[in-house]
Amino acid sequence: MKQLIEKYNVSVPRYTSYPTMPFWKTEAFQDWETNVKNAPQKRLSLYIHLPYCESLCTFCACHKRITKNHSYEVPYIEAVLKEWKMYVEWMGERPLIEEIHLGGGTPTFFSPENLALLIKGILEWASLPDSYEFSFEGHPNNTTYEHLKVLYDLGFRRVSFGVQDYDPQVQKAIHRIQPFEAVEKVTLAARELGYTSISHDLVFGLPFQNLEGFTETVKKTLSLNPDRLSLYSYAHVPWIKGIGQRGYSEEDLPAGEQKRTLYEMARELYEANGYYEVGMDHFAKANDKMFQAYQEGTLNRNFMGYTTTNSPLLIGLGASAISDVWSAMAQNEKNVEEYLRMVNEGKIPVVKGHLQSEEDLQRRQIIHDIMCKFRAEWPDEFWNEELERQLEELRTDGILQYTPTSLEVTELGKAFIRNVCVVFDAYLRPGQALSKTFSKAI
């Protein structure tokens, strides 16, 4: 295992999209409006990015804006609603919203009243099917009973809480002091209110993390019996502008096999407690929709991560949000002030994009299947000596089995799933130096 980790712990994408964003051809991207208008169906998932956080967690790789000034809330929500209205006008009909996800930053930075204003404003221009999924990311330190209640009343049934790690030394290093009692309180309150899928985010590979402390974190997490668990590999990407990963050095990070041991321990404890690994980083109980979707082969992956809905359109609203209409993808302006300015001038704030070629779409499907099903099939014409050479190497290392038109990842190989996807990425050449583009695979 040690040798495999050394070999495969290289910088590779996480594949929430294909092509991955550094390879988007923005120069050839135009007319986002036509792509949205031409989308055959107006069934959609809505991702709303709420970027503010009161305090900076120094490990965080999300797009966020740190402030304690809550007067930003209303102008931001007004801008998101303006952006939404522009999309609805483009679509020319009332869209059907199958999913809303509030991500961040910290959605619970916003007051319950303002979140209600946002969701009611969105729904004023849309319809809902019989079954829909509304979810949000809650920070345990500032999610109140009112947040949970107001969002529950608006139809939210899924919530994920950022836990990361309970070890005091780790919390100090990542500048996130968050007692177990805070997580316990919000988890129990959400369950009592009737949320049917409560998830906890844990991160392995954080500064000063060790096996003993992280085992405690995993056990404490299991004691609260969440329905789903995310177990993210810490992405060390300090070169990304504005992310602000600081306050510790590379030497403080568990690396290679040491980092992998943290993951293996968590996986063993999760599985012993009735959780199943579904796709990369995610575990779910047998009664959770995510496990059911995985078993039925309907699990989906997009910019929001894994989802159980399969809407043909993903519209991202808010600064830095990403949209995907299958034939094309687009990203909004990341800078919050610039985002507000563009929307207030009546412009859809898209600044980057990529039009998918036929080949892109074929490769996207293969990578999607590897990520969501741990297996994939491809057309005969993909087969060539180079593909065979790379698959044979992965097979020899025990990571997968293959035929000239299909592959299946082994149990061992699940840990190296990003390395399997890379084989089908036409934008990456074997051996290409990507250390300042993507985080490490393990």
Does position 139 interact with ligand SF4 (CB under 6 A)? The reply is yes
Q: At which residue do the structure tokens 């906890």 appear?
A: 200
Least separation, in Å, of the C-beta of 138 and ligand SF4?
10
Region binding ligand SF4 by CB under 6 A among candidate stretches 11-19, 98-106, 144-152, 280-288: 98-106
Q: Which is nearer to ligand SAM, 19 or 138 (CB)?
A: 138
Q: Which is nearer to ligand SF4, 64 or 289 (CB)?
A: 64
Host H or E run for residue 403: strand 400-403
CB neighbours of 397 closer than 8 A, spacing ≥ 6? 4, 7, 8
Amino acid identity of 81? L
Alpha carbons 265 and 205: distance in angstroms, whole number: 13
Of residues 304, 293, 311, 299, the one with CA closest to residue 96: 311
Least separation, in Å, of the C-beta of 106 and ligand SF4?
5
Helix intervals (H) in 289-402 = 289-296, 336-344, 358-373, 385-396
Q: Could you tell me whether strands 133-138 and 156-164 are parallel, antiparallel, or unpaired per DSSP bridges? A: parallel
Residue, CB closest to ligand SAM? 162
Alpha carbons 283 and 227: distance in angstroms, whole number: 9
Does position 62 interact with ligand SAM (CB under 6 A)? The reply is yes
Binds ligand SF4 (CB under 6 A): choice among 105, 254, 279, 349: 105
Residue 396, CB-side half-sphere exposure with 13 Å CA sphere: 6
Does position 320 interact with ligand SAM (CB under 6 A)? The reply is no
Binds ligand SAM (CB under 6 A): choice among 135, 164, 308, 323: 164
Least separation, in Å, of the C-beta of 321 and ligand SF4?
14
Alpha carbons 440 and 12: distance in angstroms, whole number: 6
DSSP letter at 358 equals H
Binds ligand SAM (CB under 6 A): choice among 98, 167, 201, 369: 201
The interface partner of residue 235, options being ligand SF4, ligand SAM, none and the CB cut-off 5 to 8 Å by kind, is ligand SAM
Size, binding site for ligand SF4 by CB under 6 A? 11
Does position 183 interact with ligand SF4 (CB under 6 A)? The reply is no
Structure tokens at 89: 């006008």
Does position 235 interact with ligand SF4 (CB under 6 A)? The reply is no
The interface partner of residue 56, options being ligand SAM, ligand SF4, none and the CB cut-off 5 to 8 Å by kind, is ligand SF4
Does position 104 interact with ligand SF4 (CB under 6 A)? The reply is yes
Binds ligand SAM (CB under 6 A): choice among 139, 260, 285, 334: 139
Binds ligand SAM (CB under 6 A): choice among 203, 317, 422, 442: 203
Least separation, in Å, of the C-beta of 271 and ligand SF4?
27
CB neighbours of 225 closer than 8 A, spacing ≥ 6? none
Does position 230 interact with ligand SF4 (CB under 6 A)? The reply is no
Does position 77 interact with ligand SF4 (CB under 6 A)? The reply is no
Does position 171 interact with ligand SAM (CB under 6 A)? The reply is no
Q: Map residue 164 onto helix, strand or coil.
A: strand
DSSP letter at 11 equals B
Does position 321 interact with ligand SAM (CB under 6 A)? The reply is no
Packing angle between helix 145-153 and helix 112-123, nearest 10 degrees? 10
Q: Map residue 193 onto helix, strand or coil.
A: helix
Region binding ligand SAM by CB under 6 A among candidate stretches 103-111, 166-174, 303-311, 378-386: 103-111
Secondary structure percentages of the chain, helix, strand, coil, to 5? 40, 20, 40
Structure tokens at 224: 């609260």
Residues that bind ligand SF4 (CB under 6 A): 53, 56-57, 60, 62, 64, 104-106, 139, 162
Residues that bind ligand SAM (CB under 6 A): 53, 59-62, 103-104, 106, 137, 139, 162, 164, 201, 203, 232, 234-235
